[in-house]
Amino acid sequence: MKTVEQMISADELSEFARQNMEPDWLIEKRLLACEQMKTLNFPNVLRFNYRNWQMTSDLLAWIKSDKNLLNCDLNNNSLVQFGQTTLSVNLATELKQQGVILTDLFTAARDYPELVHDNFMTKAIQTDDNFLASYHAACLTSGIFLYVPDNVEFKEPIELNLIQDSTQVSPLVSHTLIVAGANTKFSVIQQIHTKGSQANLANAFVEVIAQENSHVNMSSLDELGENTLAYLQRRAAVGRNAHVNWAIGMMNDGDTVGNFALELNGDGAQAKAKVVAITKHRQRVGINTGIKNVGKHTVGDILQRGVILDDSQLVFNGIGDIVHGASGSESEQENRILMMSNNAYGNANPILLIDENDVLAGHAASVGQVDQSQLYYLMSRGLSRVLAERLVIRGFLGAVLTAIPLKTVQQKLIKIIERKLADGHESD
């Protein structure tokens, strides 16, 4: 059987890109990535085997989605994409006047070529990172671009709504590129979910380029459907004295591989990665979350908490990497999993890679069943077992939820968690 890199020719890929009126440099990047696919491996997720999953598609087509299938609330400072179709872009006049750019990625590549050329898969994610990254660059069909110029600050979050169109056969290959100029301060909420029940794959990437002294609060809320096979890669390149806080709610219903990383390249850079995941039914989810300390006096903190229901599987790998020369740096991580079923499988793996002496590093990890004494106490107060379990789970996840800086994101994530837990209990 032919592989995807054998089925997609350079001529076909070039014609596909030219139909989209893409600049020559982007076409060249596609062709390079297509060639790289031949020699690269799938990303490794320790103690999680997904090699038999069909994570690519040879379908290359520009597919229009029907906006009438959606009922979207059009908020200020937001962008909505349905499949490959951008339905709306709303940006406050004040932000436009300050030079903020919010548009789809292909429009940005044509209208702001230097900004996109210099930052798209060059500083955070590379096309040759792994096989799925090269596939992504070669077969990209949608994307979002957000640029905040130097010295711009605003409080209202930018909302990016990405809706997978599974009313038809249409792989989601999407890239979100966020460039934060020096001395900027802002927040972004990205929500991704599915419309329809057609089996599809999702290959969705996010890059954040945080320049000197920028402060970015990034929130990702994932709710892809049960018939979606997903690979999600997110990475931030964090400059000198810049701060990136990234909260991720991994609430997909289908099998998922998550590959998240923050690189502290500049001296004094700081990053926090907070991940919440819930699995149910026979779902399988494997997640790498890593912070790499490169600059001096950098600080990285990973906090992951997961809940496993039914016969599902969840693996957390927390990776703290302090390279030689990153003196005075700190790396902390905590990975904890709560199993709500005897048939569930969970694994929490703390990984520390340290090549420098003058550093602080620590880790904690646990996988365990729910505390029955807690349940019995709550049930003795008149609560049903289902409600008691929900309260215990809420308490377990609370350490991550309360650490999310935006209250609106906290509330959105709590609602998603309640929905996921309710769905899981319905199968009991």
pLDDT in tens, the chain (428 residues): 346 666 688 999 999 999 999 999 999 999 999 999 999 999 999 999 999 999 999 889 999 998 888 776 667 899 999 999 999 999 999 999 999 999 999 999 999 999 999 999 999 999 999 999 999 999 999 999 999 999 999 999 999 999 999 999 999 999 999 999 999 999 999 999 999 999 999 999 999 999 999 999 999 999 999 999 999 999 999 999 999 999 999 999 999 999 999 999 999 999 999 999 999 999 999 999 999 999 999 999 999 999 999 999 999 999 999 999 999 999 999 999 999 989 999 999 999 999 999 999 999 999 999 888 988 999 999 999 889 988 999 889 988 888 787 788 888 889 888 888 887 655 55
Where is 46: in which H helix or E strand?
none
For 352-380, b/e burial (b = at least 16 CB within 10 A) is: eebebeebebebebebeebeeeebeebee
168, HSE (Cβ side, Cα atoms, 13 Å): 12
Contacts of 177 (CB under 8 A, 6+ apart): 105, 108, 116, 119, 120, 143, 144, 145, 146, 207, 209
| Residue-level pLDDT at 398 | 87
| Residue-level pLDDT at 58 | 87
| Residue-level pLDDT at 2 | 44
| Residue-level pLDDT at 140 | 98
| Residue-level pLDDT at 420 | 85
> Alpha-carbon distance 193 to 80, whole Å?
12
- Residue 67 CA, chain-centre distance (Å), reads 25
- Tell me if residue 379 falls in helix, strand or coil: helix
Of 224, 281, 284, whose CA–CA distance to 53 is shortest?
284
Contact 153, 116 (CB under 8 A): no
Q: Which residues does residue 175 pair with via DSSP β-bridges, in sequence order? A: 143, 205
> Alpha-carbon distance 187 to 405, whole Å?
10
Q: Which residues does residue 317 pair with via DSSP β-bridges, in sequence order? A: 288, 349
| Residue-level pLDDT at 74 | 64
Of 204, 205, 197, 223, whose CA–CA distance to 69 is shortest?
197
CA triple 141-142-148, angle to 5 deg: 145
- The CA-to-CA distance between both ends of the chain, in Å, stands at 40
Contact 310, 424 (CB under 8 A): yes
Contacts of 384 (CB under 8 A, 6+ apart): none
